[in-house]
Chain A
């Protein structure tokens, strides 16, 4: 789950990281009021779940109240890469003498949390990684001991070799960030930039956190951080029905059991010249309720002109699956053709049951995909 900058800053603050104050406004008047409370100058920062906000004009420095009003007006409602700005963060503007990058993520190779830091802060770190990878320092963290003092200090000294006070502040920030990462079950936590004022005081002035969806069961308090406005309605419904679903732009709706097979099915639709409308993993169960939910979600997209079931039964009996699909489709008023591919235990029985209905049976994945594309027109 991706969360907003202001929410990530709340988490960072609760772990003792130096984050400037700030509040979120949903209207221009509210933005001005918050700026008056905080005192000028302030930053007006769009809160959307995408990067590149500054480049898109979504982050502005304001010296006067007129600036605040004008910029809040411009930014609220702005479309940044398909995300509409509904909230702006009003936060004190601090003088910047130097900028650093501090980030943590899960490193799949070492199976550890990886700390990355660079003196090239305030720019897109992906770009730094591509152009000048030698400017990014890395440290894997042993989960048994956490980020040890000498590791953090070593990193601080690499970033700030001439200023022990700044190196210490950076080291402390890294250790707090590690604690925040582990205890909040993040999959990514970044401060970009961590800045020093001309007086040498450090601040985390931007924050990015992605939370591990698998760990939400131990963070019920994070559920409120989910921004329902940023979620596609069909994706929200799918999440509530415990289905893995991703909306795409095509016209062939796909219902598949298993994530890998679901991806391979989408790829095959494309291979044969069609366009998949979605990714959907219906899981191992064939109960009609789940199938109905999945069909309703897919059919809420008016672009969908045909539906493709690709079910590899495995241990699940295909006659049971067929029965589930038939019961679900009978209960609904479906106008688009449905192709069903069933393979596994009792597949002939399953296909025989389908043959008595309007559903179009298919024996292989390739046959099913080609039929679905043809029927989608």
Chain B
């Protein structure tokens, strides 16, 4: 088992004929993910790599191919539109990889998704990889391994770094999830933690946060009250100067709040160990897991 995906996940890729969309569709398929359709308006009737039918709309991909999950690789100006379309067509899981989506667009998208019962992951995220089940997004499959650890992160390559270390230590994963670095995102730390807590296969998990906002603090409160499974955390951005956006639109210390120190203090107060360095995450997890 994994969170958010299972063997019934049938994927439509929005932007399948683009450079990134095409490249990552091949990677997803090579991992065994059921990519059943692609969407590029104006390219309906074509086939992607002679295998995957391409449609003009997500609605057709859903009705013709039974797609229930969308992975979005369209440019920022079209990303919100692609999310609305996927939700309206009935996709219940939507993964938006696109970086650079305006925040106001995400604010407007949110109630639309809620009304249709669709879960969004991202935007500006690497997506999700459930080893042995499916890959929705761009996480590298070479570094994962099936196993009992869940991982949720606001970052991309920092996630890979930690997954790599988990796998090297023999700790496989149920699901590796990148929720994205923007201020307004679909699936939050809290959502992911609740899902990991309920997932019977996930025995322990890792939460990788960064400066900006207070999602880590909120998650800490929840974990303290409800989670019995071992959890270890890491927070990136201790050395970030205030007021500067550190790459991710959401990674900014503003008005003295959202600092790494505050997050670390909140997590530790909730009894969650916070690793000083990425390489300390795995040993810390092993330590609390055994005891």
Contacts and interface: CB of A to CB of B under 8 A. Distances in A.
Nearest to A345: B142
A26 B48 CA distance: 59
Contacts of B154: 260
A59 to B, nearest CB: 20
A77 interface: no
Nearest to B159: A260
Given A112-B107, A248-B239, A214 B101 contact: yes
Nearest to A108: B213
A107 to B, nearest CB: 9
Contacts of A258: 155-158, 247
A49 to B, nearest CB: 9
Given A214-B102, A248-B241, A259 B248 contact: yes
Contacts of B256: 126
A343 B103 contact: no
Interface string B178-220: 0001111000000000000000000000001011011100100
B251 interface: yes
A335 interface: no
A263 B245 CA distance: 11
**Dominant SS among interface residues on chain A:** mixed
A218 B79 CA distance: 14
Contacts of A113: 107
Given A109-B218, A111-B106, A112-B107, A260 B248 contact: yes
Interface residues on A, range: 35 or more
Given A112-B107, A345-B142, A218 B77 contact: yes
B140 interface: yes
A142 B111 contact: yes
Contacts of B164: 312, 343
B111 A187 contact: no
Contact of A143 (B107, B156, B276): B107
A263 B240 contact: yes
A366 B278 CA distance: 9
Contacts of B153: 260
Interface centre among A217, A246, A260 (most CB of B within 10 A): A260
A283 to B, nearest CB: 9
A143 B110 contact: yes
A106 B103 CA distance: 8
B247 A259 contact: yes
B249 A214 contact: yes
A312 B184 CA distance: 26
A344 interface: yes
Interface stretch (A35-43, A154-162, A267-275, A353-361): A267-275
Interface string A307-328: 0000011110000000000000
Contacts of B161: 261, 264, 312, 343, 365
Nearest to B140: A314
A260 B101 contact: no
Contacts of B5: none
B278 A257 contact: no
B102 A218 contact: yes
B251 A263 contact: yes
Which of A257, A314, A364 has most chain B Cβ within 10 Å?
A314
A17 to B, nearest CB: 19
B273 interface: no
B250 interface: yes
Interface in A326-366: 343-345, 364-366
Contacts of A67: none
A276 B236 CA distance: 14
B157 A214 contact: no
Nearest to B255: A126
Contact of A108 (B184, B238, B247, B276): B184
Interface string A198-242: 000000000000001111011000000000000000000000000
A106 B107 contact: yes
A108 B215 contact: yes
B15 to A, nearest CB: 16
A264 B100 CA distance: 22
B239 to A, nearest CB: 5
A143 B247 CA distance: 27
Nearest to B155: A260
Contacts of A214: 76, 100-103, 182, 249
B104 interface: yes
A279 interface: yes
A266 interface: yes
B237 interface: yes
Nearest to B182: A214
B247 A281 contact: yes
Contacts of B215: 108-109
Contacts of A262: 246-247
A258 B178 CA distance: 13
Contact of A187 (B100, B183, B248): B183
Nearest to A244: B247
Contacts of B237: 263, 266-267
Nearest to B186: A111
A185 interface: yes
Given A217-B76, A263-B210, A344-B140, A111 B107 contact: yes
B196 to A, nearest CB: 19
A268 B280 CA distance: 12
Interface of B: 27, 76-77, 100-108, 110-111, 138-140, 142-143, 153-161, 164, 181-184, 208, 210-211, 213-215, 218, 234, 236-241, 244-251, 255-256, 260, 276-279
In the complex, the 10 A-B pairs of residues with the closest C-beta atoms, listed nearest first: A260-B155, A259-B247, A258-B157, A260-B158, A215-B102, A244-B247, A263-B236, A314-B140, A261-B157, A281-B247
Given A106-B183, A246-B244, A258-B247, 7 more contacts: A108-B183, A185-B103, A217-B76, A246-B240, A263-B240, A271-B276, A279-B247
